[in-house]
């Protein structure tokens, strides 16, 4: 699938690769690792777990790939383009190995599970392959690979959550941190590889989540994002007391750490987000008023083929309920163009649901078949690519209009903004986000503002993707 993101160009584009800077200054390490991460926020959070495991086993992180003894690439299988990018990088790493005998290259994450045989045997691109539930075995696998063996562990787990591992924050701005609350997914959406690459759904110990969030706050972080493939289905039962904690209860526990700690979450499945969650969001000022609510298609017929378990009408009623409880809440979506058998009428249903839901921004794709998914087994990918691209462009055009109108409605309003750092375009401007997850850029001027401050910003202008404003005393 090709991805296009509209709405938050300063912050929310899908990341296509970041390298770990490491913390070698903390001590002297005889060996160094370099890690790149691709795809969703869950992958980046996993890389932070991997960094912690490696540093406890004598590896220091480095941003300089030339001195690395171990190169790891944390992969995404959800779109074909991501896999192509990873293969290209692995080919480049293989060239590096020729000049540095003993260097090891490994693949982590979703591609590791799906393409283990090809990567190891057929293409000989890597020395070790480690699935998302096997990171604890990395030190042993590195030892095996160091003796010339091909080291593999892609076994999926029904209980691994890494709840006892304190992640090392990778290239963090020191303001916003990701906290994984669950792993895997039980939703068998027909287009998606996640249930096959990340396994069944399991929720992490609630108290370990709260402890990690509190620790981040004590380190100076001002915002946490709770992560899961489907956070709304979070459900953890205490093994001794049998007390059950729902996602709404977890949200409240994190929000109560401190009123100045912002709380976000991603991603929601429309079928699981409850009134309990919505009223909890409404109750606490520091729970951000933003919900990512993937729709995928506006056609009930196509939604059934996708196994999304809701209809067009049901989805729109959920959107209406969110607006009823929190009129100020921002909503974004994922949208797929050109799924199997999609007609022009189905496509127009998607256009119209976008307009009715009035998304603030969206992540938009055209469909590409992923091997191993239910759709690949059941349906024919029968929409010509030129038709997919044309429909995607029409979806993009609609979202541009919606995003532009959404931003124009904010003109003249004042928002509380958490300052995250310099604007990408100029170090003379600050960049931050409001509760609705919209990026706001405003001049530094001579105000005594620092990164991590909450400030009031009056919106004076906008583009389709960004709000511009001025500091308001």
- Among 28-32, 76-80, 297-301, 378-382, the least confident range: 76-80
Decide: helix, strand or coil at residue 304.
helix
- Shared-domain flag, residues 202 and 148: no
- Shared-domain flag, residues 105 and 8: yes
DSSP assigned state of 367: -
Tokens at 255, concatenated: 């929000």
- Shared-domain flag, residues 128 and 180: no
Band of residue 15 on the pLDDT scale cut at 50, 70, 90: very low
pLDDT digits (tens, 9 = 90+) for 147-189: 988 899 989 999 999 999 999 988 778 999 999 999 999 999 9
pLDDT of residue 24: 41
- Shared-domain flag, residues 381 and 456: no
CA atoms within 13 A of residue 246's CA, in its CB half-sphere = 11
Mean pLDDT rounded to a whole number for the chain: 90
- Shared-domain flag, residues 302 and 447: no
Query: Which CATH number do you get for residue 54?
Result: 3.40.50.12160
168 falls within a domain: no
pLDDT digits (tens, 9 = 90+) for 145-154: 999 888 999 8
- Shared-domain flag, residues 281 and 325: yes
127 falls within a domain: yes
Beta bridge partners of 71: 34, 105
**H-helix or E-strand spanning residue 30:** none
Q: Total domain count for the chain?
A: 3
**H-helix or E-strand spanning residue 438:** none
Q: For residue 370, report the phi and psi dihedrals to the nearest 5 degrees.
A: -105, 125
| Closest to 351 (Cα-Cα) out of 310, 392, 321 | 392
Q: For residue 86, report the phi and psi dihedrals to the nearest 5 degrees.
A: -65, -45
67 falls within a domain: yes
Please give the average per-residue pLDDT across 86-110, as a whole number.
Answer: 88
Tokens at 269, concatenated: 């499945």
Residue partners of 55: CB distance under 8 A and separation at least 6: 23, 26, 29, 61, 168
pLDDT of residue 43: 86
Band of residue 118 on the pLDDT scale cut at 50, 70, 90: confident
Structural domain including 70 reads 2-153
Decide: helix, strand or coil at residue 209.
helix
CB contact at 8 A, 41 and 227: yes
- Shared-domain flag, residues 79 and 27: yes
- Shared-domain flag, residues 340 and 426: no
End-to-end Cα, the chain, rounded Å: 46
- Shared-domain flag, residues 425 and 349: no
Tokens at 114, concatenated: 């799906």
CB contact at 8 A, 131 and 113: yes
Residue partners of 425: CB distance under 8 A and separation at least 6: 441
- Shared-domain flag, residues 202 and 326: yes
- Shared-domain flag, residues 10 and 117: yes
What angle is formed at CA 148 by the lines to CA 147 and CA 153, rounded to 5 degrees?
A: 90
């Amino acid at each position: 699938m090709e991805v296009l993101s509209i709405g938050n160009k300063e912050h929310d584009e899908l990341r296509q690769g970041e390298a770990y800077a490491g913390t070698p200054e903390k001590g002297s390490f005889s060996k160094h690792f370099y890690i790149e991460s691709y795809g969703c926020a869950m992958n980046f959070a996993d890389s932070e777990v991997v960094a912690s495991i490696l540093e406890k086993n004598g590896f220091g992180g480095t941003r300089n790939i030339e001195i690395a003894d171990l190169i790891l690439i944390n992969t995404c299988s959800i779109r074909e383009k991501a896999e192509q990018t990873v293969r290209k990088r692995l080919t480049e790493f293989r060239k590096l190995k020729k000049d540095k005998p003993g260097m090891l290259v490994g693949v982590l994450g979703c591609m590791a599970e799906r393409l283990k045989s090809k990567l190891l045997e057929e293409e000989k691109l890597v020395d070790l392959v480690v699935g998302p539930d096997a990171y604890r075995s990395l030190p042993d696998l590195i030892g095996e690979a160091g003796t010339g063996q091909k080291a593999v562990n892609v076994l999926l787990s029904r209980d691994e959550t890494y709840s006892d591992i304190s992640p090392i924050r990778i290239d963090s701005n020191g303001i916003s941190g990701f906290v994984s609350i669950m792993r895997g997914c039980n939703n068998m959406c027909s287009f998606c590889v996640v249930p096959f690459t990340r396994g069944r759904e399991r929720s992490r110990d609630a108290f370990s989540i709260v402890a990690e969030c509190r620790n981040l706050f004590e380190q100076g972080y001002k915002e946490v994002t709770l992560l899961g493939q489907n956070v709304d289905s979070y459900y953890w039962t205490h093994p001794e007391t049998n007390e059950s904690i729902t996602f709404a209860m977890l949200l409240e526990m994190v929000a109560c750490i401190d009123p100045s700690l912002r709380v976000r979450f991603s991603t929601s499945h429309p079928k699981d987000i409850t009134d309990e969650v919505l009223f909890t969001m409404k109750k606490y000022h520091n729970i951000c008023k933003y919900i990512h609510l993937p729709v995928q298609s506006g056609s009930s017929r196509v939604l059934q083929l996708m196994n999304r378990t809701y209809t067009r009408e049901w989805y729109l009623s959920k959107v209406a309920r969110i607006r009823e409880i929190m009129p100020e809440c921002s909503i974004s979506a994922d949208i797929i163009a050109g799924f199997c058998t999609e007609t022009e009428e189905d496509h127009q249903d998607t256009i119209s649901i976008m307009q009715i839901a009035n998304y603030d921004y969206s992540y938009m794709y055209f469909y590409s078949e992923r091997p191993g998914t239910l759709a690949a087994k059941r349906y024919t990918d029968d929409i010509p690519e030129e038709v997919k691209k044309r429909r995607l462009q029409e979806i993009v055009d609609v979202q541009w209009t919606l995003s532009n109108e959404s931003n124009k409605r904010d003109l003249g309003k004042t928002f509380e903004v958490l300052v995250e750092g310099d604007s990408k375009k100029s170090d003379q401007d600050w960049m931050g986000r409001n509760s609705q997850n919209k990026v706001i850029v405003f001049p530094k001027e001579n105000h005594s503002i620092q990164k991590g401050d909450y400030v009031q910003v009056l919106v004076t202008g906008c583009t389709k993707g960004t709000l511009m404003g001025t500091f308001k005393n």
